[in-house]
Chains A and B, each alone.
Chain A
Amino acid sequence: MKKFAALFHDLDSMTKTNDRLDRLVTYFENACHEDSIWVCWFLAGNRIKGAIKTGELRSFLSEKVNLPLWLIEECHDRVGDLAETVSLLAGSDSGNKSLGLIKSFGNFSSLCVRWTRKKGKPLFTEHGIICPWMKCCLFISF
């Protein structure tokens, strides 16, 4: 997961296509095949759609970071992107632990399903905060 977060961070900060291609080659040379599939899927623009509604995510966040909902909304307005807002407010408590992408998203998907059924809390797992269905894909502290 951290390698993917680093990849995404680098791609985001690069302004030249060739630099990005070089970075992708480096990533795929070192990543395991199962993770590579997820990376291709996300970088091709796919998202896990509608897993959680914006309002529900904001409520989660409010509870998690112990800030009132209106303040979460103010922050969202300022930042412009909810995934990034989540990352800025909640950070990551993953420490040095890092799971493979396949495991992270595997866990995540099952948690999402569980949440939608039981209203559990999928987002703040030990490997950080995952909100790939947002426009911004991922903001994970690493």
Chain B
Amino acid sequence: LKNEVLELRKQGLYCPAGDFFIDPRGQVNRAVITHAHSDHGRSGHNSYLCSDTCKSLLQIRIGQDSNIESLPFGEKTNIGGAVVSFHPAGHILGSAQVRVEVKGQVWVVSGDYKPQHDQTCEPFELVKCHGYISECTFGLPVYRWQPEQIIHQQINQWWKENAEEGRTSLLFAYSLGKAQRVLAGLNSEVGPIYVHSAVYPFLEHYEKAGAKFPLVAKIERGQEYDFGQAMVIAPPAVEDSTWTRKFRSARKAFASGWMAVRGARRRRNLDRGFILSDHADWDGLLEVIKGTEAEEIKVTHGNGDALTRYLQEQGYNCSVLEGAQIRGEEEE
């Protein structure tokens, strides 16, 4: 990719007119960040620009002392010869699509996005543009999401059944975004709710932004707890660690879009998988990509070959963003 607005360099997407990178790797002078997940907002850059609600989350991830400026959604700012603005991506709190305009040409970098409803973050905004760079984590039609209310009901039902058997419910969910989305839907009448220490720091920022959570206790290192009929939310990274050993008799589940496929669920030997994703599903990807009315579409993040071919067959100018790093399953 190389045009007047954006080009792909070793560190990531670069805007020559404004001399900045979007979600770069390595060390750059100016980084524009779509959201605070660690594969997008990385430490080590000289200065950062992100959305207002992203700022406090990014500080938790990359350090309070980092040089971070922020903008409200929709407000335009000039960086060199480029006009830059953030538009809600609906992925997690503060997640943005970055709109870059140079000499009347508009490109939008989606970051990660989700057009489906999510009560814990700003709703996705469709932005018309000449070129759209879309994620495609779930770029196959086997991935189609149900409304989140249904998944919340399933989780509460599972929790209730476990509680009636006197078992603890241990639910793995990514610490930023997914965990909060799960928490917001829990029915606290079933029992107490605990969260792993990696999940806890983000809660106050979500609450400041208007999210409503039930009462939650943080699990402190070295303390003894009687979890009993509790719901415990922890990041999947601790699944095979010593931390999880104290939950030997607990029922275990994972909340992720990958859980749509049975094999992914069984390989982890989980009792349950809840299909709750922070990314667009197949229908969501198509709806958004077509909705932008972009003349040129690039897909990245995930296996974009199928989506690309499907759109090409329908007459869209779509291709895989060559050279972009293929990301694994982290942060889904």
Interface residues of A, Cβ cutoff 8 Å to B: 12-15, 65, 67-68, 70-71, 74-75, 78-81, 84-85, 88-89, 136, 139
Q: Which residues of A contact B271 (CB under 8 A)?
A: 13-15
Determine if B104 is an interface residue (Cβ-Cβ < 8 Å).
Answer: no
Given contacts A81-B263, A84-B262, contact A75 B269 (CB under 8 A): no
Is A75 in contact with B141, judged by CB distance below 8 angstroms?
yes
Determine if B126 is an interface residue (Cβ-Cβ < 8 Å).
Answer: no
Number of interface residues of B (CB under 8 A): 15
Query: Which residues of chain B from 306 to 320 have a CB within 8 Å of any chain A CB?
Result: 306, 309-310, 313
Q: Which residues of B contact A84 (CB under 8 A)?
A: 261-262
CA distance A74 to B304 in the complex (A): 12
Q: Which residues of B contact A70 (CB under 8 A)?
A: 309
Interface centre among B142, B144, B269, B271, by most A CB within 10 Å?
Answer: B142
Q: Which residues of B contact A85 (CB under 8 A)?
A: 142
Interface residues of B, Cβ cutoff 8 Å to A: 140-142, 144, 260-263, 269, 271-272, 306, 309-310, 313
Is B272 in contact with A13, judged by CB distance below 8 angstroms?
yes
CA distance A89 to B141 in the complex (A): 7
Q: Which residues of B contact A78 (CB under 8 A)?
A: 140, 142, 261
Q: Which residues of A contact B263 (CB under 8 A)?
A: 79-81
CA distance A119 to B313 in the complex (A): 28
Q: How far is the CB of A70 from chain B (nearest CB, A)?
A: 7
Q: How far is the CB of A38 from chain B (nearest CB, A)?
A: 22
Instruction: Give the contacting residue for B306; candidates A12, A14, A74; CB below 8 A.
Output: A74
Q: Which residues of B contact A88 (CB under 8 A)?
A: 141-142, 144, 260-261
Is A79 in contact with B261, judged by CB distance below 8 angstroms?
yes
Which A residue's beta carbon lies closest to that of B273? A13
Which B residue's beta carbon lies closest to that of A70? B309
